[in-house]
Every structure is written in structure tokens, then in C-alpha cells.
Amino acid sequence: MRADIHLHSSKMIPFPVRILHNFRHRKTILPPFHLKNMKKIGLNFAIINGIGDPMLNRFYSIGNNFRGLKNQIKKLTKEINKFDNIIYDNFKSIEKGIEEEKPVCFLAIEGADFLENKIERLQEIYDLGIRGLGLVHFSDNCIGKINTDIVSMVVKAKFNKIQETKGGLTDFGRDVVKEMNKLHMEIDLAHGSSEMIFNVLKISNQPVMVSHTGARSIQDFSRYLTDEEIIAISQKGGLIGLWPFYFRGKGMKNMEDFIAHAKYIKNLVSVENIALGTDANGLPGAMKGYKFEKDIFNIEKSLLNAGFDKKETSKIMGDNIIDFLKNIS
């Protein structure tokens, strides 16, 4: 089983904005990861994220973030169906994918800005096929606080110490976590402040994930997790997605760095808490050794060469996310 717990459609940013985005990051951006190639490269499962931020959804519907998000979901669903992949509904979808030898696409949204303090919208997106939600993304919202603003992370990261934000879940955010538990939706705490992470862990009665991150003890990067956060997430049975991001001196520079994060988290908690979250089609730069969609094989091979046995490697590359989904079903 090979799985990626965080990626995007290559068509997420609408044309022609996508052309401008790609040109701006032309020196570091990766070639697009095409969902139609999932089966070709042996990617059996992927959590594919739409974006809940008004910044993007204005291109799907002027002046109405929620309507724009629903249009985005419909477009993503149509794209996946075109390639005859299976859209995840419940855990039986995994069994169907194995039986029919088809990739399974789990739909999620990164950033809950679209909720706008309306809890009933969770059910609406669930009915559209969404089974996971990243509570925050590029800015604070009705759910809670991000760990650092995007300007500091991307623009100033090379020059200044990044200033982290303070604060946790809002009262509405607490209601959202409880409702997501009732719906058995996957909770992603990537981009969330430390206080928000601990707030969610205290409330949620099911495991959570941080889909694309690393260990802060390896590098002092605000998007990475402290030992305390890693331990707390693992004690809840959660997942930590290793993120092959590298941009302006921040992140994993090469495969050796990636392995260092994997070994550290394994020794701190367990190999059963590690997964792969590439953020494909959503990151401005990546580590050496991960450039094309087929390079998932480089990651698998590097884990084996670094001393992870076949069972441990299989857990990281996909088995752990399957166990995670079984636990929240």
C-alpha cells in the first residue's frame, strides 16, 4: 500500500491564475502531479485537498466563499471520476479499491474559513463527499489560530526569525471538532497553533493528524512539531505526515534530512505514527530527491536503505493511514 495523506489537484488554482503562480515560482516549483497517474505510479490512496480560503474561492464564485468552495468540490469530483478512481465514502471504499485494483481518493478541505460560524455547513460538505477537514490554513478563522502567518513563513523565512501566533480554538471551533467526531470526519491540524493542537486533542474522541510537517528538534521551523506535540498526537493514535518541502532555507533539504525526521519520530514515539504528506501541487519548492510524482519510489527506497525494515517502511508508506481511517470509521 502506498499513500499520500496530503496533496492537491494540479488544477486546484484556476487558469489563468495558475499560469501566473507557476511563473512566479518557476525556479523552484515542481512539475504538476497528475491524479490520472496515481495507478501508474502505484499510489493506492491519497487525501486530496480543496482549499477553503476566500483567497482561492473568489476565482470559483465572486463574493461568496462557500458557493465558490462547493463549485471547487464539484470540479474536483468530476476530475477524479474522469480517471475512474474511487472516491472514498467510508472504510469499505478501501476494500473496494483493493478488490478492483483502483486508487482511492479521499476528499478533504484545507482551511475551514468557509464555515463562517455556520455549523450546518459541515453536513453540507459531507453530503458533497468531503470526509476530512484541515481546521486552519493561511489565516486565523472562526475555528482558531494558525501557527504563523504565510508572509513570515514564505517571504521572510530566509531573513528574519518567524513570529508565531498565540491562541487556540474558539468556542465555535470546539463545536466543530465535536460535530466532526459525530460525522467520523478526519481532523487535520496542519498550520494550527500549538495551543489549538492541544485544545483539539483534549476534546476529540478520535485520532487526529498533522498531514505535512516534521520534527522541530531536527530544525527550528514553525511548521514543524515540538516533541510535546508529537507525543500528545501519538498518544491519541494520531498521524504525523512527513513533508518533503524545502524553500528559502526552510524544510528538508534532501533525502538525508527526510530520513533524519523519520528516525527521530520513530525513536520518540513509534513508526506507527508516521506517514507521508507531500503537499504535491501546493508547495513552491521541495527537497532534492523528490521532484516528480514517481519519486515516491525514491522515498520508499531511501527508508529501506536507512535501516527501516519492510514492515516499518510499509507502515510509513501507507499502512498507517489505513489503520487510522479504520479507527475513525
- Among the residue ranges 60-69, 141-150, 197-206, 293-302, the one predicted with the least confidence is 141-150
Is residue 240 within 8 Å of residue 230, measured between CB atoms?
A: yes
CA-wise closest residue to 258 among 313, 209, 309, 311: 313
Q: Domains plus CATH for the chain?
A: 3-328 (3.20.20.140)
The Cα 48–Cα 61 span in angstroms is 21
Segment 86-142, tens digit of pLDDT: 999 999 999 999 999 999 999 999 999 999 999 999 999 999 999 999 999 988 999
pLDDT band at residue 167 using 50, 70 and 90 as cut-offs: confident
Segment 202-254, tens digit of pLDDT: 999 999 999 999 999 999 998 999 999 999 999 999 999 999 999 888 999 99
Give the side-chain half-sphere CA count within 13 A for 54. 10
Question: For residue 285, what are the contacts with CB-CB under 8 A and spacing of at least 6?
Answer: 25, 28, 29, 30, 245, 246, 247, 248, 251
Instruction: For Cα atoms 202, 192, 243, give the angle at the middle one, nearest 5 degrees.
Output: 115
